[in-house]
Structure 1
Amino acid sequence: MAIVSPNFCAPYPIELGIVRKVMTITDGNFAVTDVNGNLLFKVKEPLISLSDKRVLLDASDTPLLTLKENRVSLHDRWQVFRGKSTEQSDLVYTLKRSSMFQLIKPKLDVFLGINKEMKICGFHVKGSWIDRSCVIYAGNSDVIVAQMHKKHTAQSILIGKSNFSVTVQPNVDFAFIVSLIVILDDINKEDSE
């Protein structure tokens, strides 16, 4: 199930740590590590920008994906592109709410770039920021491909960091999963405002 790259698919479950800084003055607030604390990904976002765009970088600062929100959409529509591109030919996937009216727990549908008609989703995401958890499913099934859980640490209370643990199932592209969680975080921040 390589969506970003086969390099991000493993034949065994992958455990990721995600640290989200609540307050930051730098240009990024996400860091993603493996179980040993080695940096795998980070997210770069502009401090001030007219467009809502983020870039998922690998540990060596190579841009993997550009995540771009369509601000005029009623469904919280995001488009995700390869590298730093925003060209339709580089579209990896589109994500949107499954309906405009969702209260506490958003349900998001993910359509891979080759699915131009967007009638049947390739993945769906259910998450609640109140519960600090989300589950990512294959298609419209109940097959879980990844699951996120909140980790409570002293850092989260003392210095404004949210820590999450993400379990990604075997042969699932974990860079793709990280990009979904970054978008879910943004959607949930907007919902709480």
Structure 2
Amino acid sequence: MADCSAPVKTGDFRLVVFVSSPVSYHDPAKMDTPASATTALPAPAPATVVVDKRFCAPEATAFAVAKTITYTGRDFTVTNAGGANVMQVEAAVFALLKKSLLLDAARRPVVTMQDSGYFMNTRWAVFRGNSTSRRNLLFTVVKSSAIQIGRTKIYVFLASNSGEEAPDFVIRGSYYDGACTVSPGNSDATIAQASITRQNTVQLIGFGRNKYTARINPGVDQAFILALTVILDEMH
């Protein structure tokens, strides 16, 4: 057999071929880098669960939150990017305090949102399911000031944060300019977990309704952001 390691003339070039025993790419003893190191994926960001982890999607999502013309004038329909109805918001007709119920696609109660009776709708409480019991409190939404003409700043306190010394989340932006963000209370304002934009559409002569788009980052509780969208409308 010819010596395969000998130089072979190919025109003006010299080609040298070396023959060695094959190396199994699955044998860690013969590899400089373990195979697992080349296939490892970055760990996903931790989920932000406020209402329920079933509302946390691994991908970014967007929902249209449109006010419907009803007797109360405070009902909403929530549709996903494909146009399917995924949630409803129904406002109580007869109630001492303003109250709305967020329902899932099967019309099961997800959260109850209730005005706390403070001046100019400055404070709302959100409870699990169809409840307004203190033991089912999930979070409280508070305006930083009663009148906000230019910039919007609204604080969100989780139920575990009873002292309310520092907010767990902050809604920032300008409601009247149609753009707000939701970010953790201890982070820079640019680190948003969701954005809420508003459009006003005319339905009938002399009547208009608000339509919102909620864009939610992966792992962020969708029901939480949708409830904040409704409360943002109620506060203004």
For normalisation by structure 1, the TM-score amounts to: 0.86
Q: Distance in 2 between matches of 1:71 and 1:26?
A: 18
2:59 is matched with 12
- Counterpart of 2:128, as a letter, is R
2:235 is matched with 187
After superposition, the C-alpha distances for 1:138-164 in whole angstroms (9 at most, x for unaligned) are: 114221011122357xxx334544332
Q: Distance in 1 between matches of 2:59 and 2:104?
A: 20
Q: Distance in 1 between matches of 2:102 and 2:150?
A: 27
Is 1:76 the counterpart of 2:122? The answer is yes
Q: Distance in 2 between matches of 1:74 and 1:30?
A: 21
Highest relative contact order (Cα 8 Å, sep 6+), 1 or 2? 1
SS of the residue 1:149 aligns to: strand
Q: Distance in 1 between matches of 2:67 and 2:218?
A: 25
User: Taking every aligned residue pair, what percent have the same amino acid on both sides?
Assistant: 32
Q: Distance in 2 between matches of 1:72 and 1:166?
A: 27
Q: Distance in 1 between matches of 2:73 and 2:95?
A: 11
Is 1:2 the counterpart of 2:52? The answer is no
Matches within 5 A, 1:38-117: 38-73=84-119, 76-117=122-163
Q: Distance in 1 between matches of 2:62 and 2:148?
A: 30
- Counterpart of 1:67, as a letter, is M
Q: Distance in 2 between matches of 1:124 and 1:62?
A: 28
Q: Distance in 2 between matches of 1:72 and 1:162?
A: 24
CA drift at 1:26: 6.4
Is 1:166 the counterpart of 2:211? The answer is no
- Counterpart of 2:197, as a letter, is H
Q: Distance in 2 between matches of 1:46 and 1:27?
A: 11
Would the aligned equivalents of 1:14 and 1:168 in 2 still touch at CA under 8 Å? Answer: yes
For normalisation by structure 2, the TM-score amounts to: 0.71
Structure 2 unaligned regions, length at least 5: 1-47
Cα RMSD for the two superposed structures: 2.1
After superposition, the C-alpha distances for 1:3-58 in whole angstroms (9 at most, x for unaligned) are: 1111110111111111113x422686211111011111111102343211111111
After superposition, the C-alpha distances for 1:56-105 in whole angstroms (9 at most, x for unaligned) are: 11111111111111113577111111011111111100111123453333
Q: Distance in 2 between matches of 1:75 and 1:19?
A: 21
Structure 1 unaligned regions, length at least 5: 189-193
Q: Distance in 2 between matches of 1:167 and 1:82?
A: 23
CA drift at 1:135: 1.2
Change (3 A) 1:65 1:96: same
Q: Distance in 1 between matches of 2:91 and 2:121?
A: 22
Would the aligned equivalents of 2:55 and 2:221 in 1 still touch at CA under 8 Å? Answer: yes
Number of aligned residues: 184
Q: Distance in 2 between matches of 1:103 and 1:140?
A: 25
